[in-house]
């Protein structure tokens, strides 16, 4: 049988095993960490306060611009409303020109939209969109402006 050679330690033995505790390197002391935390907290508070003022100013600017342009938007809406009423009258006159005795804007010789005791009366929504593309009526109903 071949000779068996057993593993043995090297002559003089193995090197000593270092089993002592090696503490982690300290970058900051406790006071430095507390000071850093307070500094970051103060910076975050200042930044939040500054951004709050910026957003508040932006909101005021938006509200002011909306208030400035609102009368123009109302006037434009009213102008388009009256133009559509005029187009409705013109379309009614064109459609009923061959009917004898027909008067535009009247029903049984009574005015539809003008009443002596109440003044101008708004037409119903279906009458308003009678001569327009139906998609505009559906758009208005979908957007909830009809409510």
As a whole number, mean pLDDT of residues 129-133 equals 81
Residue ranges covered by each domain of the chain: 31-142
> Would you place residue 132 in the very low, low, confident or very high pLDDT band (cuts 50, 70, 90)?
confident
d(CA 106, CA 103): 6
The pLDDT of residue 2 is 66
pLDDT surpassing 70 at residue 111: yes
**Which pTM value belongs to this model?**
0.53
Q: State the sign of the Cα–Cα–Cα–Cα dihedral 117, 121, 124, 128.
A: positive
Structure tokens at 138: 């559906």
The pLDDT of residue 147 is 47
Three-class SS state of 10: coil
Could you tell me which residue, 59 or 140, shows the higher pLDDT? Answer: 59
**Residue linked to tokens 């009526």:** 137
pLDDT tens readout for residues 17-61: 888 888 888 899 999 999 999 999 999 999 999 999 999 999 999
Q: What is the DSSP string of 84-143?
A: HHHHHHHHHHHHTTTSTT--TTEETTEESSEETTTEE-PPPHHHHTTTS-HHHHHHHHHT
Name 136's Cβ contacts closer than 8 Å, sequence gap at least 6: 129
pLDDT surpassing 70 at residue 1: no
């Amino acid at each position: 049988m071949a000779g068996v050679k057993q593993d043995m330690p090297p002559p003089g033995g193995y090197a000593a095993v270092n089993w002592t505790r090696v503490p982690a390197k300290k970058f900051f002391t406790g006071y430095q960490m507390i000071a850093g935390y307070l500094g970051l907290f103060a910076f975050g508070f200042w930044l939040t306060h500054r951004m709050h003022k910026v957003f508040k100013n932006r909101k005021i600017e938006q509200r002011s611009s909306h208030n400035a342009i609102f009368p123009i938007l109302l006037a434009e809406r009213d102008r388009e409303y009256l133009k559509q009423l005029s187009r409705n009258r013109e379309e009614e006159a064109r459609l009923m020109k061959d009917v004898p005795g027909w008067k535009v804007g009247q029903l049984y010789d009574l005015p539809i939209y003008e009443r002596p005791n109440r003044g101008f009366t708004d037409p119903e929504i279906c009458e308003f969109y009678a001569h327009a593309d139906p998609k505009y009526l559906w758009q208005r109903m979908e957007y909830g402006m009809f409510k």
